[in-house]
Amino acid sequence: MAQVVRIHEHGGPEVLKVEEMDVGEPGPGQVKLRQRAIGVNYIDTYQRSGLYKMPLPFVAGSEGAGDVIAVGPGVTDFKVGDRGAYAGAIGGYASERLMPADRLVKLPDSIDYNTAAAMMLQGMTVRYLLRQTYKVGPGTTLLMHAAAGGIGLIACQWAKHLGATIIGTASTPDKLELAKAHGATHMINYKTEDWVKRVKEITGGAGCDVVYDAVGKDTYPGSLDCLKPLGLWVSFGNASGAITNFDILLLSSKGSLYATRPTLGTYVAKREDLIANANDLFDVVSKGVVKINVNHTYALKDAAQAHRDLEGRKTTGSIVLLP
């Protein structure tokens, strides 16, 4: 029997219920994975709360790494004993699970399970944000909200490698220093400073080419005021709550701006795109360009506490559950 964390009703962390479950054997196109480490991400809290609607009941989580222990009919890319990692396949908070083989990627020997589980969703998100949603390079000036979070720390390192000027926001002096240590060029304490004004000061009034905003309600519409004319606002999260009053006319009045609300699933819907994204991530991590900070580990049974700490902004870097 596998240990799983299942959600029977939407709500706070208390709805995460630890249960035992027979996950069965893999069907056509599936593999059975014994999980070694499981990633915890903000999207898990959105699905738990009901902000992102999920059919009930469901096993929480969508990221992990482990060993293939069985393969179903028609699976040719994997064999028993292969190491694999994934993101975006719901059912992750489990010691064992079934999943579509085409959503799993082979894990290089150079990357351990904890690192893989901590980086797949966040790292592949950063890859599409910096390389596809907006092509960051030398000369790019960007604003990264929540720069000391899991995605923020990866993005700061990767964007620095690409030659960008990175302005970050965070809420405490320690978080400001952490993001600076990971490549941020300038940091702003949004609790004590007028961050829109500071962005304008840092950029000499020019503004940023792109703003990456996973905060949501608290940073809208201020993020738009940080952009150059024709700049791009990338809203990819709702840490402070969902934006419910988006006014498209602001895009014209503030400089013919662009706005997008991307999601990883679209960028890796095709298997070839998934593999290309993952391989780019494995490359920068294996070379040491990007270091993954697994700053918090919890037992699988303590998933509720992990959610409390994440939503309470008590964490930095990545969070991993250990079965």
Same-domain status, 188 and 249: yes
DSSP designation for 130: I
Tens of pLDDT along 99-135? 999 999 999 999 999 999 999 999 999 999 999 999 9
Residue 5 in this model has a pLDDT that exceeds 90: yes
Same-domain status, 150 and 73: no
Task: Examine residue 165 and state whether it is found in any structural domain, yes or no.
Answer: yes
Single residue among 215, 232, 261 that ends a domain in this structure: 261
Same-domain status, 86 and 173: no
Same-domain status, 242 and 146: yes
As for how many domains the chain has, the answer is 2
Calculate Rg over the CA atoms of the chain. Answer: 20
* Token pair listed for 268: 């890796």
DSSP-based three-state secondary structure for 77: coil
Confidence label for 202 from pLDDT (cuts 50, 70 and 90): very high
Angle value at C-alpha 16, between 50 and 309, nearest 5 degrees: 90
DSSP-based three-state secondary structure for 247: coil
Single residue among 261, 288, 312 that ends a domain in this structure: 261
Give the rounded percent of residues in the chain with a pLDDT score beyond 90: 95
Single residue among 261, 292, 308 that ends a domain in this structure: 261
CATH of the domain at 79: 3.90.180.10
Task: Examine residue 132 and state whether it is found in any structural domain, yes or no.
Answer: no
Residue 152 in this model has a pLDDT that exceeds 80: yes
Same-domain status, 101 and 196: no
Q: How confident is the prediction for the chain on average, in pLDDT?
A: 96
248 sits in which H/E element: none
Instruction: Tell me the C-alpha to C-alpha distance, in Å, between residue 285 and each of 74, 119, 124, 138, 144.
Output: 32, 9, 12, 21, 20
Q: Which residues pair with 20 in a beta bridge?
A: 3
Q: Per-residue DSSP letters for 162-194?
A: TT-EEEEEESSHHHHHHHHHTT-SEEEETTTS-
Same-domain status, 176 and 218: yes
**Closest alpha carbon to 231 in 122, 133, 128:** 133
The arithmetic mean of pLDDT across residues 48-77, rounded, is: 97
Same-domain status, 208 and 275: no
- Is-contact 290 157, C-beta < 8 A? yes
Task: Examine residue 174 and state whether it is found in any structural domain, yes or no.
Answer: yes
Task: Examine residue 173 and state whether it is found in any structural domain, yes or no.
Answer: yes
Same-domain status, 251 and 191: yes
Same-domain status, 252 and 283: no
Q: Which residues pair with 105 in a beta bridge?
A: 85
Task: Examine residue 126 and state whether it is found in any structural domain, yes or no.
Answer: no
Task: Examine residue 110 and state whether it is found in any structural domain, yes or no.
Answer: yes
Confidence label for 318 from pLDDT (cuts 50, 70 and 90): confident
248 is in which domain, residue-wise?
A: 138-261
- Is-contact 140 165, C-beta < 8 A? yes
Instruction: Tell me the C-alpha to C-alpha distance, in Å, between residue 322 and each of 93, 220, 271.
Output: 9, 36, 28
DSSP-based three-state secondary structure for 51: coil
CATH of the domain at 229: 3.40.50.720
Same-domain status, 19 and 64: yes
b/e sequence 22-38, b meaning 16+ C-beta within 10 Å: ebeebeeebbbbebbbb
Residue 205 in this model has a pLDDT that exceeds 80: yes
Confidence label for 150 from pLDDT (cuts 50, 70 and 90): confident
Task: Examine residue 127 and state whether it is found in any structural domain, yes or no.
Answer: no
Task: Examine residue 128 and state whether it is found in any structural domain, yes or no.
Answer: no
Same-domain status, 104 and 153: no
Tens of pLDDT along 239-290? 898 899 999 999 999 999 999 999 999 999 999 999 999 999 999 999 999 9
Same-domain status, 246 and 284: no
Residue 317 in this model has a pLDDT that exceeds 90: no
Residue 221 preceded by cis peptide, ω within 30 = yes
Instruction: Tell me the C-alpha to C-alpha distance, in Å, between residue 122 and each of 48, 117, 118, 250.
Output: 19, 10, 8, 30
pLDDT the model gives residue 314: 87
